[in-house]
């Protein structure tokens, strides 16, 4: 008799919850109709949130009622141990499938799916793929074991757990194997790191990247390939970068707000910041370096694909390389970017000669100079 | 055999209970470690809720950068004018979200709560070495929380330079509005927090070293205590460095010094030209704390799960000594790897190599821990209650997030991944989600001890499944954004055509985050409702071996009525063959074991069928795999 009552009250309460929730939505709809100016999209989202919250409450109440029924019957209706064990299996299968799906679908959106745009990018990508493969294997095996054990060894009154406290051989095995795998990764990583940090040649083209809130400037060293000295007290006085054109090497320097670089030529970037720390991030070239006020930083690399070549390869006429600021630097941090264009040597020579140097004499020198130099030992690698 | 060495006959009077307890001395300025632990927990949960709500606000912004949310203006006023979130306030939100979560929830809320609760209880001590310092520790933490929250309401907004507050951005009020009063309050709050953390840490170590009950040898301490001890040591050694670092930043900001500033023109820096310092110095000081901090967060969570997994698998934790060894190794290594946060600051490449080596070595003890967890589950009899599920979830996150650490710890790979969403995904999985799961696991497990009631199990399971699914849905896709070069701490991605492909993903992440948020409200409801209306707890609800379950359900100042129990064995005697019950509390002496310090009879290693080695290699491997997967004995 009591049994029946509980069931009846259960059905009744569900019905009531549904009724109240529906009436709440109905109210929402009326309001929405009245306020026609509001965007429907945001209202629908609020609605979804509302439905979700109510659903959770309904589910919670159902479970509560069921467990109360179980208490009365002295036999639990919901065996959470079992449910969890099966859910763990479902979670494992769905999770692994979703992971594969992610790699198939979103993997294509990463920079690793694009052709490598700099000389060291291939080596970098290989390192990445090796790490991905090794960690991927570990990931799959350990996650499978974890959730499989959760399912397989769920509590059963028939069984007693195995009192098995340790096994030195096993501990040794699972210490030594990760050590060996990591040794491989460390050694390879160190090799790549050394290549990336020491790959500058004498003839590399010196360019200064100047970051400030919230934009970038590039300063080309001109025909002499030497950057003139700057004085931070002169920033915004003689020019934005504080480079006095009368100083040695400064006359032929060129300041631009777009970064053009010639393909297959070593580029040696010198970074400088005016106010706070920025970070010059060129994801397509696997290049990033912090730009710190009062602390010179450098990075050298060799672009291997021009913007046009990349556009053809990707079949995307709007593709552009980009330099982003990747260190929080203030309110417009998210818009602090610079267009990067990799030119062929001819195009670069033409472009740079159109840019005025700091002095008229410098411009003349630059115009008389050929920037079409094939002098990159790295590019020939 | 069944004699539990504790007297509950009530004739013993409590040594510490003579003075009359007023409301203030019992609930507010309490010196009882159990009350202090509850205070830490509730403050931590409140801060956590604030931090989580902040994350929902900026997730809305990231998913709908062009949509106007009138509610923003209602809640945030000027910061959400016309329903649009202000970019400066977005940065403030991520900064305070990070600070709150890292320090206030996962440091104080996690290790403050459980170190306070468990160190005296699991070691058999009446209270902490210095209850007064313990109380001070909480009140410094509370003051620090109040200062941090109050910084939300000052002119210019709270600190907005990211939770790492790198100068010059944090030093120059002209650079960002948040670097005004808000930043000063951030530093004050941090300094108070460090004081709290040091007072607590010294106390924890002193208690563990001096106040163990008879028979509680170091090798009989539960892994929770081992983890808390090393956490406290890490804190004691590293927090003072941040203290110094913050103080110098205060000088730079307020007194015109140039510890962290170089070549900053006078007009940017309050009329004083700043030359001679180094912004990178701050990063070194910050990460000298910051990296151990990661383990200050993670180790207690791992300790808690070790205990919970062993109890609920009804099995001894696999490789107890290896677990302690790996905790030690992680703790020591964590001091020599801070530079991996700074690979691209232009530091000497050789230094980068050293930091890279150290960082990747940490993967070895971490792997040992993971395999030991799996070894504990193998052939267990798993009680899949909420705390066990959260513990399993922690292991899952620890694997997922730990493995991406191998990418980021590699200096070469870090060049293209640094400060992208890949990093966000990595640390939210391994440090955020894993540690939060450890904390929730501990709350479900020790709730009966803290409040004398149990939390609702069904709600706990719903909470678990919603949380783990939403956490993976939020953070897993972020890896791919990072690999596409999407930088973190961006207010919007609308200025970048190539990031348009992630619009849908950003929306998906936000939906998942909201589901996770709802799940936490289920938890909050369960937590506070059960406190008053939950099922009354029995003394040892999980049939656990450790000492805290020998104390009465109703809290006493002094923990045990009568004598402190003696300890006769290690805490993991579960399912010992030949015993009727599947657990033997630490207080149970073995037959003929009179002296607690003598060792009980060793349990013989289980007899295993040997894998026949004469067979073909494939056959041996096949048998082994069958055994590992549980299909053969």
Of A60, A193, A213, the CB nearest to B411: A193
Q: H helices within B340-410, ranges in order?
A: 349-377, 386-408
The residues, any chain, with a CB within 8 Å of residue A85's CB and separated by 6 or more, are A150, A151, A154, B382, B384
Q: Find the mean pLDDT for residues A339-345.
A: 93
Query: How distant is the Cα of A214 from the closest Cα of chain B, in angstroms?
Result: 11
Q: Which of B384, B489, B610 to mutate to test the interface with A (most CBs of A within 10 A)?
A: B384
A163-175 burial string, b = 16+ CB within 10 Å, else e?
A: bbbbbeeebeebb
Name the pLDDT band for A67 (thresholds 50, 70, 90): confident
Q: Which residues contact B351 (CB under 8 A, 6 or more apart)?
A: B339
Sheet holding A267-273, edge to edge: A254-256, A215-220, A205-212, A267-273, A297-301
Tokens of B446: 């020790």
Copy the structure tokens of residue B256: 């015109």
pLDDT of residue A39: 55
Tokens linked to A277? 């720390």
Report pLDDT for A157. Answer: 85
Q: Quick one: tokens of B614?
A: 């004469």
Task: Give the residue among A355, A370, A192, A372 at the shortest CA–CA distance from A264.
Answer: A372
Q: With contact defined as beta carbons under 8 Å apart, do A87 and A35 qualify?
A: no
The SS3 assignment for B313 reads helix
Q: Supply the pLDDT for residue A42.
A: 59
Q: Do B166 and A277 touch (CB under 8 A)?
A: yes
Residue segments in chain B with a per-residue pLDDT below the cut of 50: 1-17
Cβ within 8 Å, pair A275-B168? yes
Confidence label for A6 from pLDDT (cuts 50, 70 and 90): low
DSSP H or E stretch at residue A216: strand A215-220
Going from the C-alpha of A192 to that of each of A125, A127, A261, B11, B414, the distances in angstroms are 10, 8, 24, 73, 11
- All residues of chain A having their beta carbon less than 8 Å from the beta carbon of residue B169 are 276-277, 328-330
Q: Do A164 and B605 touch (CB under 8 A)?
A: yes
Segment B479-499, tens digit of pLDDT: 999 999 999 999 999 999 889
Taking an 8 Å cut-off on Cβ atoms, the answer to whether A288 and B418 are in contact is: yes
Two tokens, residue B77: 């006023």
Sign of the C-alpha dihedral, residues A108, A113, A114, A117? Answer: positive
Residue B336 CA to its chain's centroid (Å) = 21
Q: What is the mean pLDDT of chain A?
A: 84
Give B492's contacts in chain A (Cβ within 8 Å): 334
Residue of A nearest to B353 (CA): A190
Question: Tens of pLDDT along B449-476?
Answer: 999 999 998 889 999 999 999 999 999 9
- Pick from B129, B136, B114, B104: nearest CA to B34: B114
Which residues in chain B are contacts of A236 at CB distance < 8 A?
Answer: 265
Kindly state the tokens that stand for B305.
Answer: 């799960």
Nearest by CB to A289, from B346, B374, B628: name it. Answer: B346
ipTM reported for the complex, 2 dp: 0.92
pLDDT at A258 over 60: yes
**Cβ pair A84:B384 closer than 8 A:** yes
- A81 contact residues in B (CB cutoff 8 A): 382-385
Set of chain A residues whose Cβ sits within 8 Å of the Cβ of B275? 294
pLDDT digits (tens, 9 = 90+) for A115-129: 989 999 999 999 999
Rounded Cα gap, residues B599 and B604, in angstroms: 14
Q: CB–CB of B483/A111 below 8 Å?
A: yes
A–B CB contacts, 8 A cutoff, strictly below? 375
Report how far residue A274's alpha carbon sits from residue B274's, in angstroms, rounded to the nearest whole number: 12
Closest Cα in chain A to B630:
A152
Q: Is B169's CB within 8 Å of A63's CB?
A: no
Contacts of A192 in chain B (CB under 8 A): 412
The answer on pLDDT for A57 being more than 60 is yes
Do residues B241 and B284 lie in contact, with contact meaning Cβ atoms separated by under 8 Å?
no
CA angle B372, B375, B376 (to 5 degrees): 90
Q: How far apart are the first and last CA of chain A?
A: 87
User: CA–CA separation, B206 vs B128, rounded Å?
Assistant: 8
Residues in CB range of B190: below 8 A, 6 or more apart = B103, B144, B242, B246
Q: What is the 3-state secondary structure (H, E, C) of A166-202?
A: CCHHHHHHHHHHHHHHHHHHHHHHHHHHHHHHCCCCC
Burial track A206-225 (b if 16+ CB lie within 10 A, e otherwise): bbbbbbbbbebbbbbbbbbb
Model pLDDT, residue A40: 57
| Contact list, A323 vs chain B (CB under 8 Å) | none
Best residue in B69, B85, B415, B502 for a mutation probing chain A (most A CBs within 10 Å)? B415
* A222 or A91: which leads in pLDDT: A91
Residues from chain B that touch A200, judged by Cβ atoms under 8 A, are none
Distance between CA atoms of residues B184 and B194, nearest Å: 15
Which pTM does this prediction carry? 0.90
Query: Which residue in A has a C-alpha nearest to residue B66's C-alpha?
Result: A42
- Please tell me which residue of chain A has the smallest CA distance to B162: A328
Q: Give chain B's radius of gyration (CA, Å).
A: 26
Q: Which residue of B has its CA nearest to A130?
A: B407
State whether B416 and A146 contact (CB < 8 Å): no
Residues recorded for chain A: 381
What is the per-residue pLDDT for B594? Answer: 85
Nearest to A332 among B87, B161, B373 (CB): B87
Is the pLDDT reported for residue A354 higher than 70? yes
Contact B575 A288 (CB under 8 A): no
CA–CA dist A289, B415 (Å, integer):
8
Task: Tell me the chain B residues in contact with residue A60 when contact means C-beta distances shorter than 8 Å.
Answer: 458-459, 462, 522
User: What pLDDT sits at residue B5?
Assistant: 42
> In this predicted structure, what is the pLDDT of residue A245?
85
Secondary structure element (H or E) that encloses residue A208, with its range: strand A205-212
Which pLDDT value is given to residue B91?
A: 94
Residue B631 DSSP one-character state: S
Q: Which of A89-103, A218-232, A361-375 has the highest mean pLDDT?
A: A89-103
User: Is the CB of B381 less than 8 angstroms away from the CB of A91?
Assistant: no
Which residue from B616, B560, B492 is spatially nearest to B9, judged by alpha carbons? B560
Please answer yes or no on whether B384 and A155 come within 8 Å at the CB atom. Answer: yes
- pLDDT, one tens digit per residue, over B424-445 is 999 999 999 999 999 999 999 9
Q: Per the CB < 8 Å rule, is A331 touching B458?
A: no
Cα distances from B166 to residues B182, B241, B278, B363, B387, in angstroms, run 15, 15, 11, 28, 38
SS3 state of residue B5: coil
Q: How many CB atoms lie within 10 A of CB B324?
A: 18
């Amino acid at each position: 008799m009591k049994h029946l009552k509980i069931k009846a009250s259960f059905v009744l309460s569900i019905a009531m919850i549904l009724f109240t929730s529906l009436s709440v939505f109905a109210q929402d709809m009326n309001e929405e109709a009245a306020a026609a100016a509001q965007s429907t999209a945001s209202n629908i989202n609020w609605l979804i949130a509302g439905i979700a919250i109510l659903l959770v409450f309904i589910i919670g109440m159902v479970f509560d009622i069921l467990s109360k029924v179980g208490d009365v019957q002295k036999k639990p209706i919901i065996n959470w141990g079992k449910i969890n064990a099966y859910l763990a299996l479902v979670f494992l299968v769905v999770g692994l499938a979703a992971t594969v799906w992610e790699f198939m679908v979103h993997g294509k959106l990463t920079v690793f799916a694009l052709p490598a745009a700099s000389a060291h990018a291939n080596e970098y990508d290989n390192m990445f793929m090796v790490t991905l493969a090794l960690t991927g294997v570990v990931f799959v095996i350990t996650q499978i074991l974890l959730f499989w054990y959760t399912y397989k060894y769920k509590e059963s009154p028939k069984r007693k757990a195995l009192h098995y406290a340790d096994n030195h051989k096993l501990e040794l095995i699972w210490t030594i194997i990760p050590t060996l795998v990591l040794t491989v990764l460390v050694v390879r990583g160190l090799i790549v790191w050394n290549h990336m940090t020491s790959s500058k040649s004498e003839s590399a083209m010196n360019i200064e990247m100047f970051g400030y809130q919230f934009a970038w400037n590039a300063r080309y060293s001109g025909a002499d390939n030497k950057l003139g000295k700057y004085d931070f007290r002169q920033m915004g006085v003689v020019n934005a970068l504080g480079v006095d054109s009368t100083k040695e090497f400064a006359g032929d320097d060129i300041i631009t707000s777009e970064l053009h670089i010639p393909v297959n030529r070593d580029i040696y970037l010198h970074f400088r910041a005016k106010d706070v720390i920025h970070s010059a991030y060129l994801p397509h070239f696997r290049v990033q370096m912090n730009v710190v006020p009062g602390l010179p930083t450098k990075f050298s690399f060799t672009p291997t694909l021009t913007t046009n070549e990349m556009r053809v390869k990707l079949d995307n006429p709007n593709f552009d390389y980009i330099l982003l600021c990747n260190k929080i630097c203030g309110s417009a941090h998210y818009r602090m970017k610079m267009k990067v264009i990799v030119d062929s040597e001819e195009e670069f020579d033409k472009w740079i000669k159109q840019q005025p140097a700091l002095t008229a004499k410098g411009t003349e020198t630059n115009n008389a100079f050929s920037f079409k130099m094939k002098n990159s030992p790295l590019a020939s690698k | 055999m069944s004699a539990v060495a504790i007297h509950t006959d009530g004739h013993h009077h409590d040594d510490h209970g003579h003075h009359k307890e007023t409301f203030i001395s019992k609930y507010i300025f309490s010196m009882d470690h159990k009350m202090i632990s509850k205070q830490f927990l509730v403050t931590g949960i409140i801060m956590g809720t604030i931090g989580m709500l902040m994350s929902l606000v900026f997730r809305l912004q990231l998913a709908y950068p062009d949509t106007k949310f009138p509610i923003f203006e209602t809640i945030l006023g000027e910061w959400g004018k016309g329903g649009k979130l202000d970019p400066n306030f977005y940065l403030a939100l991520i900064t305070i979200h990070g600070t709150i979560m890292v320090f206030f929830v996962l440091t104080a809320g996690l290790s403050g709560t459980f170190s306070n609760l468990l160190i005296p209880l699991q070691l058999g001590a009446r209270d902490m070495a210095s209850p007064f310092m313990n109380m001070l520790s909480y009140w410094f933490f509370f003051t620090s929380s109040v200062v941090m929250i109050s910084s939300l309401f000052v002119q210019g907004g709270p600190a907005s330079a990211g939770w790492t507050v790198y100068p010059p951005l944090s030093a120059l009020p002209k650079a960002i509005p948040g670097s005004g009063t808000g930043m000063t309050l951030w530093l004050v709050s941090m300094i108070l927090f460090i004081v709290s953390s040091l007072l607590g840490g010294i106390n924890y170590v002193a208690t563990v070293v001096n106040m163990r009950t008879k028979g509680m040898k170091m090798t009989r301490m539960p892994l929770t205590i081992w983890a808390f001890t090393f956490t406290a040591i890490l804190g004691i050694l590293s927090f003072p460095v941040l203290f110094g670092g913050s103080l110098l930043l205060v000088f730079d900001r307020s007194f015109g010094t140039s510890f962290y500033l170089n070549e900053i023109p006078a007009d940017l820096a309050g009329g004083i030209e700043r030359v001679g310092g180094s912004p990178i110095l701050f990063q070194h000081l910050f990460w000298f704390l910051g990296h151990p901090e990661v383990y200050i967060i993670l180790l207690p969570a791992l300790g808690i799960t070790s205990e919970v997994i062993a109890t609920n698998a009804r099995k001894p934790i696999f490789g107890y000594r290896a677990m302690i060894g790996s905790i030690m190794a992680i703790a020591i290594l964590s001091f020599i790897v801070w530079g991996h946060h700074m690979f691209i600051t232009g530091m000497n490449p050789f230094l980068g190599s050293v930091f890279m080596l150290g960082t990747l070595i940490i993967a070895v003890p971490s792997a040992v821990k993971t395999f030991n967890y799996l070894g504990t589950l193998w052939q267990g009899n798993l009680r899949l209650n909420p705390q066990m599920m959260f513990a399993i979830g922690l292991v899952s996150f620890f694997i997922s997030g730990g493995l991406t650490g191998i990418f980021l710890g590699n200096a070469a790979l870090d060049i293209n991944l640094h400060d992208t969403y890949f990093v966000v995904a990595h640390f939210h999985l391994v440090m955020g989600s894993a540690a939060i799961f450890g904390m929730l696991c501990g709350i479900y497990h020790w709730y009966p001890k803290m409040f004398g009631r149990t939390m609702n199990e069904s709600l706990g399971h719903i909470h678990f499944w919603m949380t783990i699914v939403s956490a993976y849905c939020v953070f897993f896709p972020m890896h791919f954004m990072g690999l596409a070069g999407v930088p973190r701490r961006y207010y919007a991605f609308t200025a970048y055509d190539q990031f348009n492909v992630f619009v849908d993903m950003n929306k998906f992440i936000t939906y998942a985050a909201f589901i996770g948020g709802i799940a936490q409200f289920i938890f909050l409801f369960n937590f506070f409702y059960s406190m008053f209306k939950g099922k009354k707890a029995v003394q040892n609800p999980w049939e656990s071996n450790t000492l805290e379950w020998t104390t009465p359900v109703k809290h006493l100042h002094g923990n045990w009525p009568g004598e402190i129990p003696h300890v006769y064995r290690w805490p993991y005697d579960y399912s010992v063959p030949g015993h009727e019950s599947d657990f033997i509390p630490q207080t149970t002496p073995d037959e003929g074991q009179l002296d607690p310090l003598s060792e009980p009879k060793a349990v013989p290693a289980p007899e295993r069928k040997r894998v026949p080695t004469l067979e073909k290699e494939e056959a041996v491997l096949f048998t082994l795999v069958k055994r590992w997967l549980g299909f053969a004995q």
